[in-house]
A and B are shown apart, each in its own frame.
Chain A
Amino acid sequence: MQTLAAGPPPPVTPLVVIAIYLGLLLALALFSAKLFRGTSTDYFVASRSIGPFMLLMSVFGTTMTAFALVGSTGKAFQRGVGTYGLMASSSGLIHAACFFLIGIKLWAFGKRYGYVTQIQFFRDRYESNRLGYLLFPILVGLVIPYLLIGVLGAGKTIAGVTKGMFPETFAATGGSVPSWLTGLVICMVVLAYVFSGGSRAAAWANTFQTLVFMCMGLLAFYLISTKLGGLAKAIEAANGAHLVRTPSELEVASKAGTFTREVGVPSWMFLTYMFIPLSVGMFPHLFQHWLTARSAKSFRLTVIAHPLCIMIVWVPCVLIGLWATAAFAGGIEGTKPAALNKVIGGLPDANVGAVLSLMVKGLIGDPVVVGLVTAGILAAIMSSLDSQFLCLGTIFTNDIVLHRTGKNRFSDKQVVLIARSFVVAIVILTYLISLRGGNVFDLAVWSFSGFASLTPLVFAALYWRGATKMGAYASVVAAMGTWLYFFAQSGWGGEYTVFGGVMPVALSFGAGALAMLLVSALTPKPSQATIDKFFPKF
């Protein structure tokens, strides 16, 4: 984050607003923890009792990370109007398809056979214990960077908002709250309610957080458009090249020198980006939310309203990003301070995520609004963090400890204690790794790509009687091998395409699907008992 102006320390009001938000979140979540029934089923899947509205809010909140607010604005500022089609409208179709085609069936198997993790289902369906040991490190390895994105993202967000606020206390960070402190507070708040209330507390917290970040996005949209003289005037000032999807180049003069930015979205990228939203079919934390549903009917609202919720969040944020491109045309009008145009116009690609907060601070300037929008960003981050911490604790407990020792080795209360211990350990580990810092934001698309590459595994398990154990192994190895190859080629992160714009996820998904088809066709079919168990007539 760059400063807009030098002067006396800014008021701490935004931090007070954020503290009030965190206090409300903690109070609500700890209240919901009082509803905890003390059983492991309640801790892991809220006794499968979550109704339609809370399921929608918790699934949508978990799916949308901070990228929904800051990333969408920044990407629209960088690539233009094609961002919505690239990331949002395709997600509306594909996420809902995954909820309907994968989520409802897995909920039914989970309820009937008592599953609380993906690996339990895969072990039974593919008749292989070892498949669990192959999947376990892969799923954990793909979730960890996703967790770090949240913790480090919160640190960067607060550092930007509090720049110069505490010149004496935090002199080393230019007066802003250091990332280690933000990460510590965020981790402690999330840990407090996940530890005490498990899945039920996470569902309540996610409902509150989702409503907060949806409302704050709309608030920022309304206030910024008003400052720019209305919707029509705001878009008229935008840079023309950003209003079409056709690729073009833009010379950007940043602090580090002039560079060329690619505006627009190439056709192959636009097509193959559609594989990324398939990742929701394999997110372990989303799987756990599906299992919390009271009934299959609870999914109806989630399936129908999910594309609508995406639209409510993304359209305003994409428009704000487009309005900011006026910095490349006639300049953003009504700026306060005037340096805003220079700062936004000179943002390097790695920092385009700062556009939303720069627009809020530079155009509105009201510290209460700055605090509210920042609370919205934190809500988007934390609504994913809690589910991820909980899901890792759940799979460690069920897929490793209980799987090796047997279900009857521990009492139900001991199982909850083991899960809580793992959650604490994962939070501490994540926090310690986050202290190393670094730019993990580029890892997000790779984390999603990894999960999306594994989707043939779950789709074949549910819809193809001929999918075999060896086919499953081949699919996982081929998908992850291809994914790892391109990940290495990219220099371990960052935006990377092959063959003139094809996203690597299309190839790793294809490799996984092809391996599943070929190897399953050549190896022994599952037993009749397994087919009867997993292919009932619904």
Chain B
Amino acid sequence: PQRLIVLLAIALAILHQDFWDSDALVFGFMPIGLFYHACYSLAAVCLWALTIKIAWPRHIEDWAEGG
């Protein structure tokens, strides 16, 4: 799971560079460049939700309590 998350994070970091110059508007008010990055923010939310679901350090709580 940890490697999957790392790969997804790298993919997301690459996608941030939005290699794709148009003043087209999404929903009639949002420039497409802004819409892309707003969707990107939501993708980041999904990535971290998945991370917590499958790659959470399960024993960290118990370990920290024993100090």
Per a CB cutoff under 8 Å, which of B29, B30, B33, B52 touches A300?
B52
A318: chain B residues within 8 A (beta carbon): 34
Say yes or no: B59 contacts A311, CB within 8 Å.
no
Tell me the smallest distance from the CB of B46 to a CB of chain A, in Å.
Answer: 9
Interface string of A46-79 (1 = CB under 8 A from B): 0000000000000000000000000000000000
List residues 47-67 of chain B with CB under 8 A from any CB of chain A. Answer: 47-49, 51-52, 57-61, 63-67
Say yes or no: B66 contacts A82, CB within 8 Å.
no
Say yes or no: B57 contacts A93, CB within 8 Å.
no
Say yes or no: B63 contacts A303, CB within 8 Å.
no
Known: A112-B63, A112-B67. A92 touches B44 (CB 8 A): yes
Per a CB cutoff under 8 Å, which of B9, B38, B47 touches A311?
B38
What separation, in Å, do the CA atoms of A235 and B35 have in the docked complex? 13
Per a CB cutoff under 8 Å, which of B13, B31, B48 touches A81?
B31
What separation, in Å, do the CA atoms of A267 and B36 have in the docked complex? 16
Per a CB cutoff under 8 Å, which of A85, A88, A111 touches B64?
A111
Tell me the smallest distance from the CB of A387 to a CB of chain B, in Å.
Answer: 22
Known: A235-B25, A244-B22. A82 touches B16 (CB 8 A): no
What separation, in Å, do the CA atoms of A108 and B64 have in the docked complex? 5
Tell me the smallest distance from the CB of B63 to a CB of chain A, in Å.
Answer: 6
Known: A108-B63, A538-B63. A93 touches B44 (CB 8 A): yes
Tell me the smallest distance from the CB of B45 to a CB of chain A, in Å.
Answer: 5
Tell me the smallest distance from the CB of B30 to a CB of chain A, in Å.
Answer: 7
Say yes or no: B17 contacts A271, CB within 8 Å.
yes
Tell me the smallest distance from the CB of B38 to a CB of chain A, in Å.
Answer: 6
Per a CB cutoff under 8 Å, which of B16, B36, B58, B60 touches A108?
B60
Say yes or no: A296 contacts B57, CB within 8 Å.
yes
Say yes or no: A308 contacts B64, CB within 8 Å.
no
Known: A97-B9, A232-B29, A274-B13. A84 touches B34 (CB 8 A): yes
What separation, in Å, do the CA atoms of A104 and B37 have in the docked complex? 27
A154 at the interface (CB under 8 A from B): no
What separation, in Å, do the CA atoms of A93 and B10 have in the docked complex? 10
Say yes or no: B33 contacts A245, CB within 8 Å.
yes
Say yes or no: B37 contacts A84, CB within 8 Å.
yes
A81: chain B residues within 8 A (beta carbon): 31, 33-34
Say yes or no: A114 contacts B67, CB within 8 Å.
yes
Minimal Cβ-Cβ distance residue in A for B29:
A231
Tell me the smallest distance from the CB of A425 to a CB of chain B, in Å.
Answer: 32
A105: chain B residues within 8 A (beta carbon): 60
Say yes or no: A304 contacts B66, CB within 8 Å.
no
What separation, in Å, do the CA atoms of A96 and B13 have in the docked complex? 13
A234 at the interface (CB under 8 A from B): yes
Tell me the smallest distance from the CB of B4 to a CB of chain A, in Å.
Answer: 14
List residues 8-22 of chain B with CB under 8 A from any CB of chain A. Answer: 9, 12-13, 16-18, 21-22
A353 at the interface (CB under 8 A from B): no
Per a CB cutoff under 8 Å, which of B40, B45, B49, B60 touches A296?
B60
A235: chain B residues within 8 A (beta carbon): 25, 29-31
Range of interface residues on chain B? 35 or more
Per a CB cutoff under 8 Å, which of A90, A107, A300, A305 touches B45?
A305
Tell me the smallest distance from the CB of A484 to a CB of chain B, in Å.
Answer: 28
List residues 229-248 of chain A with CB under 8 A from any CB of chain B. Answer: 230-232, 234-235, 240, 243-246
Say yes or no: B63 contacts A297, CB within 8 Å.
no
Max count, chain B CB within 10 A of own CB: residue among A89, A270, A304, A315: A89
A307 at the interface (CB under 8 A from B): yes
Say yes or no: A308 contacts B38, CB within 8 Å.
no
Known: A85-B18, A93-B9, A246-B21. A100 touches B37 (CB 8 A): no
Tell me the smallest distance from the CB of B29 to a CB of chain A, in Å.
Answer: 4
Say yes or no: B38 contacts A243, CB within 8 Å.
no
Minimal Cβ-Cβ distance residue in B for A230:
B29
What separation, in Å, do the CA atoms of A311 and B17 have in the docked complex? 18
Minimal Cβ-Cβ distance residue in A for B33:
A81
B45: chain A residues within 8 A (beta carbon): 92, 304-305, 307-308
What separation, in Å, do the CA atoms of A243 and B32 have in the docked complex? 8
A500 at the interface (CB under 8 A from B): no
A108: chain B residues within 8 A (beta carbon): 60, 63-64
Tell me the smallest distance from the CB of A23 to a CB of chain B, in Å.
Answer: 35
Say yes or no: A538 contacts B59, CB within 8 Å.
yes
Say yes or no: B51 contacts A100, CB within 8 Å.
yes
Per a CB cutoff under 8 Å, which of B21, B47, B66 touches A244?
B21
What separation, in Å, do the CA atoms of A240 and B21 have in the docked complex? 11
A112: chain B residues within 8 A (beta carbon): 63-67
Say yes or no: B48 contacts A234, CB within 8 Å.
no
What separation, in Å, do the CA atoms of A438 and B56 have in the docked complex? 47
12 contacts between A and B (CB under 8 A): A84-B33, A85-B40, A88-B41, A96-B44, A108-B63, A232-B28, A245-B18, A246-B21, A267-B17, A308-B41, A311-B38, A538-B59
Chain A residues near B (Cβ < 8 Å): 81-82, 84-85, 88-90, 92-93, 96-97, 100, 104-105, 107-109, 111-114, 230-232, 234-235, 240, 243-246, 267, 270-271, 274, 295-297, 300, 303-305, 307-308, 310-311, 315, 318-319, 322, 536-538
Complex A-B, nearest 6 residue pairs according to Cβ-Cβ distance, in ascending order = A112-B67, A231-B29, A538-B57, A243-B23, A108-B64, A89-B37
